[in-house]
Structure formats: structure tokens, C-alpha cells
Amino acid sequence: MFDNVAFPLRIHTDLSEDLIRDLVLIKLQAVGLRGAAGLFPTELSGGMIRRVALARTIALDPSLVMYDEPFAGLDPIAMGVIVQLIKTVNRVYGTTSVIVSHDIAETASIADYIYVLSDGRLIGSGTPQELMGQESPRVKQFVKGLPDGPVPFHYPAIDFADELLQNGSRG
């Protein structure tokens, strides 16, 4: 795991190995994994793998970090850890984060501003508080996780009772 985080520093800088060591330990400390520096990827949980990826990402102190579904497949504890880490990275390193996610509550707890896309179009935007109060049925369905609305749960079909009567003769 140590070498994974050190890789971008070794490739993109002329820093000494001593300085790289210190920077890697700082980044692993930031994600709570300094004590696991000697572990191999096969020894890590899913949440730990995400945290190592974040340490590697911030190794070069980027001003912008893009996340694609950072909460997918995580248990509630690991998800809470990742949410806190993203907030901490933003605050401590002055990083701007762009998060693409279907996890509204977690994203809203981090975001200053949210854009809601549907069918390749922007359907809503605003602060998390503004989005929660939007009247647009499509935005409301998405941010509140409603099972039915403009995006129907049921695929279009003829009336169910009619279909049962039609197929009654198939026996």
C-alpha cells in the first residue's frame, strides 16, 4: 500500500525517498491508514481500498478532485468515513471536489452546490437546501427517492386485469 501512494510522487517529482516517505506517511495518516502502510491490496477491505485511493489522489496536493460514485458498495460505517474524509480533504487541503453520485443524502452533506442531471439534461440545481424545497416533480422524485412520479416504476403496459383476461385462455 505504501508504494501505491508513493507512486505518483516518484513519477511526477524529483523528491528524495526520505521526503517521499514522509509525505506518504502524512497522506496515509490523513486517511487513517498510516498503521496499515505495509499491507498488500489483497489484505484491505473495500473501504480501506477507497481510502488508499484517496491518499494516492491527494499525494500531489491537487486543487481539484473528481469522484465517481465514491459511496457505491460501502457499508454505512465505511460510507460515513469516506464522507468525513472528503470533507476533511476539502477543508484541510483547500481542495474543490466534484462528486458524481446517486447517493443524495451523503452528497448533500458535503456539497455547497448540486446539479441534478436526468436523461442527459440539467433538471435542477442549487444548494442542498434549495434542492430539497424544489417544486419540480422530477427533481423532487430524485432527491427524495420517491418510487413513482415522472419517472415511473412500472414499465408501460396494458391494464393488468385486461392482460390477465386475455391470457386466461393460454392454460
The Cα–Cα gap between 91 and 41 comes to 28
Task: Note the pLDDT of residue 128.
Answer: 93
pLDDT by residue for the chain (171 residues), tens digit each?
999 999 999 999 999 999 999 999 999 998 899 999 999 989 998 888 988 999 999 999 999 999 999 988 888 888 888 899 999 989 988 999 999 998 888 999 999 999 999 889 999 999 999 998 888 999 999 888 888 888 888 888 898 888 888 865 554
Sign of CA dihedral 53, 51, 77, 43: positive
The Cα–Cα gap between 153 and 163 comes to 18
The cell numbers describing 33, all together, are: 491508514
Task: Note the pLDDT of residue 168.
Answer: 58
Task: Note the pLDDT of residue 144.
Answer: 86
Q: Would you call 68 helix, strand, or coil by DSSP?
A: strand
98 phi/psi in degrees, rounded to 5: -115, 120
- C-beta of residue 69 within 8 angstroms of C-beta of residue 101: yes
The DSSP letter of residue 69 is S
The cell numbers describing 66, all together, are: 473528481
Please list, in sequence order, all residues whose beta carbon lies within 8 angstroms of the beta carbon of residue 62, skipping any fewer than 6 positions away: 95
Domain positions in the chain are 113-147
Closest among 76, 89, 73 to 32, alpha carbons compared: 89
Task: Note the pLDDT of residue 95.
Answer: 92
pTM assigned to the model: 0.77
Catalytic annotation present for 163 = no
- C-beta of residue 106 within 8 angstroms of C-beta of residue 84: no
Task: Note the pLDDT of residue 169.
Answer: 54
Closest among 87, 88, 93 to 60, alpha carbons compared: 93
Pairing of strands 96-100, 64-68: parallel
Task: Note the pLDDT of residue 166.
Answer: 83
The cell numbers describing 30, all together, are: 490523513
**Catalytic residue from among 17, 43, 69, 163:** 69
Task: Note the pLDDT of residue 75.
Answer: 86
